[in-house]
Amino acid sequence: MHIPHDSPIRLTDENATIAFGSRLALALTPGMVIYLRGNLGAGKTTLVRATLQALGYQGKVKSPTYTLLEQYEAGGLHLRHFDLYRFQDINEWEGAGFSDEFDGINICLVEWPEQAAGLVPPADLEIFIDILPKGRSICLNANTPSGQACVARLH
Ligand SMILES: Nc1ncnc2c1ncn2[C@@H]1O[C@H](COP(=O)(O)OP(=O)(O)O)[C@@H](O)[C@H]1O
Ligand SMILES: [Mg+2]
């Protein structure tokens, strides 16, 4: 299933990205797989951090650049933040237990999913972030009913 994304959402500054993260937080449901796509510095980690903070997470939200995965419990949800930019060894996927994380309960937010193509389960929702001369723009692609319901709650 695929619905075409509607008009891009314009995020004029970092605060707008944070506000979008707060809206996303309210729209999440257990088990969702969300890909975050966009160049380095687009704001993928900023968005995840804002989402976690909106859910009430008070600790530090570090980029999982080297650890590849950070785990959070917030707002009654189990969240997993992947950054697969440095993922290389396909054996590491099972070795690190990553497939177990996609258990239908955890909400998995995945930066650079293409680095583990064929290993990462398909996304319910893809969030594309484009860097504009000033600010960012976001497009949403819902691929499943759960992704569609999430997008509907965002509007
Ligand atoms: N809407 C926006 N407009 C301008 N700058 C932004 C916006 N959203 C986030 N930023 C900035 O862009 C950078 C994004 O960094 P980061 O979230 O680490 O990107 P990524 O995880 O995509 O590599 C941060 O410096 C942040 O302050
Ligand atoms: Mg990042």
d(C-alpha 109, C-alpha 87), whole Å: 15
Residue-averaged pLDDT of the chain: 95
Question: Which residue's alpha carbon is nearest to atom 10 within ligand 1?
Answer: 14
* 4 strand-pairing partners: none
Binned at pLDDT 50, 70 and 90, residue 5 comes out as low
Contacts 24+ apart (CB under 8 A), 59-67: 64/111
Looking at the CA of 11, name the nearest ligand: 1
pLDDT, tens digit (0-9, with 9 covering 90-100), for 71-88: 999 999 999 999 999 999
Distance 1 CA to ligand 1 centre (A): 30
Strands 107-111 and 77-83: parallel
- Backbone phi and psi for residue 20, each to the nearest 5 degrees, phi listed first: -65, -40
Q: Is 28 a pocket residue for ligand 1 (Cβ < 6 Å)?
A: no
- Would you say residue 105 has pLDDT above 90? yes
- Would you say residue 3 has pLDDT above 80? no
Looking at the CA of 70, name the nearest ligand: 2
DSSP for residue 122: P
Reported residue count of the chain is 155
Distance 25 CA to ligand 1 centre (A): 18
Q: Which domains does the chain have, with CATH numbers?
A: 33-87+98-154 (3.40.50.300)
**What pLDDT does residue 155 have?**
81
Distance 131 CA to ligand 1 centre (A): 9
pTM of the model: 0.96
Binned at pLDDT 50, 70 and 90, residue 65 comes out as very high
Distance 21 CA to ligand 2 centre (A): 14
